[in-house]
Structure 1
């Protein structure tokens, strides 16, 4: 309960930080957009004042006083032309544009799209056109919201990744602690059971049953060893995949229901080798076999098949059970996801971690069809020796 409370507290704080960041970002966007609109209106008013000065005072755009007023502390690019679009005056326009008819035409068109040009008629019936664009500051304000939006998206993405990472780390610590505690708790009764097996071997009882019990105790000892390895360094060594898989199949063969057929082709094949941690790899095979047994519900066929290509060894575990919906092909590997009425939904999640993180392999649903069966595939890198 204490862990759950701490996790909820941490979760709320992370969500609050992300929401606060979004509020700040949206507020900044709205404020910047408002500033851009205000500056645009100011620049339009300035150009309107210039136009009024030319019209009301019957000034030529080349008038020295007018030019001094317009150019003073002004960063609005503009071009003033006569009625035939001959350039009379310009500001912040490169000479190469002014001297090139095509570039000049493109510039005038561009300015007209940014702001509607102003037509000025003086009392002397002279006609002038003022084409003007956006100042550098206005352009910065116009594009700045998009930069802010990008920053917000990156912020949210990093926040989400950090949240997921910290959540996963927290879950990993819990599972590792749970696994080690389980190994510790199982260790004492397992040792005791080994002692009782040795005692039964000296008694006048059916030794066949004792040997089967011993196999189960050995298997339980392996389970304890597997749990103790979670979270610790996982050394890999050269292993014969045929034999490792075969040991698990042989163990389950005497324990499957009588109406379930368990087949395996690996022992008749050439030896296939890979770098594995035998205890953990066996765990994955057993988990797939148990899932297959659950899927067939006491009646059906489970087929374990080895195949290979020059670079990989493939272990396929097929059953004739209830199948998996295609939408769940990836979800079945998520911690906590299960279609069973009981269980924690950790088996395939741990299997994926063991195969992909520890062994550098791949585990996936090769094929599945509802009410017809499922084939799970493990792929390992082959080694030659």
Structure 2
């Protein structure tokens, strides 16, 4: 069923594209045919002018351009640009050609050459002398030029509408997908609420029993972390107020929790508790999620052996959090792709962790997240940059 629907959808798109191309081709052919007919008519009109001028020259022995009938025939209701010269290319008459061109020899020569390329010039012979004649140089009318360009303008307008429609469709589809994911996240938070409440009760019960209380404390930390995860899922799609927070402490809490749950052959260093505190406006629950995602990705890259180094630095305007590992590294061509939804190099997982991290940092916190350094076999450094605030 899904395959048949996909084939139908593909065929539907092919038909729509074919119809659009066919309509565009028909529009071009029809308009070009109209332009060809108009060009023939304009050439015929100019031939009539030439015959009229020759007739007047024969009857009046010269002065064709001064004859009122010929002048009206050529100039009135005429949108064809032309220049009439004698055999020495001295201008006798012009129409729809600016005076600055007529008065400038070089511009005049270029205009005559341009007219010659558009239409062959027509000579007007004098019956009493083969050495005396006029030449009509003429170009395309504005209407004819408009007809030549009209189909391309039409195709451009159609293309713009198609692109805008495609963008609107993609946007609506993207919004629909966002609503689905937001609903799924909130439903996940709701479903996790019952077992976490139950686990909280069991931990309280274990506190009253003769069991290793240090183990109970670790279970309490895991449950607290699980409740943070529930809280994070519930915040997706909701307004997330940002408040000034000590970045050293927020990042430090994630590092301390993570440090007790990594393999023995992995070291996790953090400089944040040994430097002066820096502040930024964040949502602590969501921001901790980002830091944990980065550390988990580093841990996956180490494959059980190596080091992770989380470092905080700052300047006058920004605070930077670097998560560096000594893992397998990322090819430079994938530095940006790793933040795309669905991209993953792991055999399991949906490839949403870094994509979600980028959304939290850039859309919720107006910050930046990017790979700043990576080398195959030597490790990767990913940096979060936030705007610094001051107390």
TM (normalized to structure 1)?
Answer: 0.90
Structure 1 residue matching 2:389: 3-state secondary structure: coil
Q: Is the 8 A contact 1:18 1:159 kept in 2?
A: no
Q: Is the 8 A contact 1:246 1:264 kept in 2?
A: yes
What residue in structure 2 maps to residue 365 of structure 1?
Answer: 371
Q: Structure 1 pair 348/11, CA: closer, same or farther in 2 (3 Å)?
A: farther
What residue in structure 2 maps to residue 133 of structure 1?
Answer: 139
1:245 corresponds to 2:245 = no
Q: Is the 8 A contact 1:39 1:138 kept in 2?
A: yes
Structure 1 residue matching 2:219: 3-state secondary structure: helix
Aligned-residue RMSD, C-alpha: 2.9
Q: What does residue range 281-360 of structure 1 map to in structure 2 within 5 Å?
A: 281-360=287-366
Distance 1:242 1:293 in 2: 21
Q: What does residue range 1-385 of structure 1 map to in structure 2 within 5 Å?
A: 24-55=23-54, 59=58, 61-62=64-65, 63-95=67-99, 97-124=101-128, 125=130, 126-385=132-391
Q: Structure 1 pair 12/225, CA: closer, same or farther in 2 (3 Å)?
A: farther
Q: How many Å apart are 1:23 and its aligned residue?
A: 5.1
Q: Structure 1 pair 282/27, CA: closer, same or farther in 2 (3 Å)?
A: farther
Q: Structure 1 pair 299/355, CA: closer, same or farther in 2 (3 Å)?
A: same
Bigger mean CA offset, 306-315 vs 118-127: 118-127
Q: Structure 1 pair 8/350, CA: closer, same or farther in 2 (3 Å)?
A: farther
Q: Is the 8 A contact 1:56 1:122 kept in 2?
A: no
Distance 1:311 1:14 in 2: 50
Q: Deviations over 1:256-280 (max 9, x none)?
A: 1111111111110100100000000
Q: Structure 1 pair 12/271, CA: closer, same or farther in 2 (3 Å)?
A: farther
Unaligned runs of 5+ in 1: none
Bigger mean CA offset, 116-125 vs 95-104: 95-104
Q: How many Å apart are 1:220 and its aligned residue?
A: 0.5
Structure 2 residue matching 1:382: 3-state secondary structure: strand
Q: Deviations over 1:233-291 (max 9, x none)?
A: 11011111111111111111111111111111111010010000000000000111111
Q: How many Å apart are 1:93 and its aligned residue?
A: 3.3
Structure 1 residue matching 2:94: 3-state secondary structure: strand
Unaligned runs of 5+ in 2: none
Q: How many Å apart are 1:225 and its aligned residue?
A: 0.5
Distance 1:286 1:5 in 2: 43
Q: Is the 8 A contact 1:238 1:274 kept in 2?
A: yes
Bigger mean CA offset, 328-337 vs 218-227: 328-337
Q: Is the 8 A contact 1:323 1:372 kept in 2?
A: yes
Distance 1:159 1:45 in 2: 45
Bigger mean CA offset, 154-163 vs 54-63: 54-63
